[in-house]
């Protein structure tokens, strides 16, 4: 059982942290590792740990199945109309045959015995990626051509805070606002707290 801990997450920072966990392996294989971020996607309401698991699993797989001197990239793209953000990890690796792609997301499945011997693994990585994406209300898609590489895309809802609450800004002349009134910086309805105090000096 996985319970998501949703909170606002800095997308740029999370991508940097995820990339850092695979950069050493990529460097050893002389793989070029790139990141491209959509500037409009700055934050996302997600479980930071689980999203990092998605990205690290996809990046680690891409590096593992890409020959020396190849390329691996991570791209983040926002879709304002669909209110969705897509995290795509692509590579110039060995690729996956169409008949094998549907089985990739099943637990404990590795598609080729010869590959199993060359590339060790449990077969749980992509099943976990799909599960975590679905828990967020998202999905995972794959585009791949044998010998030409793969594109794995995890699309998540672009969840944002529904209300923005800011404190009222006092007037520049120092006058007191009437009870219930707000200054010009108030961008949404904030909770109103009534404070009862019978000593004027404590107000």
| Helical segments of 33-183, H only | 48-64, 98-101, 113-118, 125-135
Rounded alpha-carbon distances, angstroms, from residue 27 to 12, 50, 60, 174, 195: 21, 25, 12, 60, 60
pLDDT value at residue 102: 76
pLDDT value at residue 117: 43
The phi and psi torsions of 197 (rounded to 5 degrees) equal: -145, 125
Distance of CA 71 to the CA centre of its chain: 21
Alpha-carbon distance of 4 to 39, in angstroms, equals: 26
Alpha-carbon distance of 112 to 114, in angstroms, equals: 5
pLDDT value at residue 107: 66
- For tokens 């404070």, name the residue: 195
Q: What is the pTM of this model?
A: 0.72
pLDDT value at residue 22: 96
pLDDT string in tens for the chain (203-residue length): 788 999 999 999 999 999 999 999 999 999 999 999 999 999 999 999 999 999 999 999 999 999 999 999 999 999 999 999 999 999 999 998 888 887 887 764 555 544 444 444 434 678 899 999 999 999 999 999 999 999 999 999 997 544 333 334 444 444 444 433 444 444 344 444 444 555 454 44
Cβ proximity of 171 and 177 under 8 Å: yes
Q: How many CB atoms lie within 10 A of CB 116?
A: 12
pLDDT value at residue 160: 59
- Delineate the domains of the chain, giving CATH numbers in brackets: 7-157 (3.30.565.10)
């Amino acid at each position: 059982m996985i319970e998501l801990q949703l909170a606002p997450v800095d997308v740029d920072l999370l991508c940097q942290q995820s990339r850092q966990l695979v950069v050493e392996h990529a460097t050893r294989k002389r793989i070029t590792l790139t990141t491209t971020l959509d500037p409009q996607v700055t934050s996302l309401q997600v479980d930071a740990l689980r999203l990092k698991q998605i990205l690290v699993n996809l990046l680690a797989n891409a590096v593992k199945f890409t020959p020396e001197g190849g390329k691996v990239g991570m791209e983040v793209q926002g879709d304002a109309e669909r209110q969705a953000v897509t995290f795509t990890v692509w590579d110039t690796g060995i690729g996956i045959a169409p008949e094998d792609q549907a089985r990739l997301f099943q637990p404990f499945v590795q598609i080729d015995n010869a590959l199993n011997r060359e590339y060790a693994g449990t077969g749980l990585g992509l099943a976990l990626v799909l599960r975590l994406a679905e828990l967020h209300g998202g999905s995972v898609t794959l585009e791949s051509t044998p010998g030409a590489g793969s594109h794995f895309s995890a699309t998540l809802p672009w969840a944002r805070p529904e209300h923005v609450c800011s404190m009222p800004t006092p007037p520049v002349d120092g006058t007191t606002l009437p009870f219930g009134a707000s200054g010009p910086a108030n961008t949404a309805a904030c909770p109103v707290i009534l404070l009862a105090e019978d000593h004027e000096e404590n107000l």
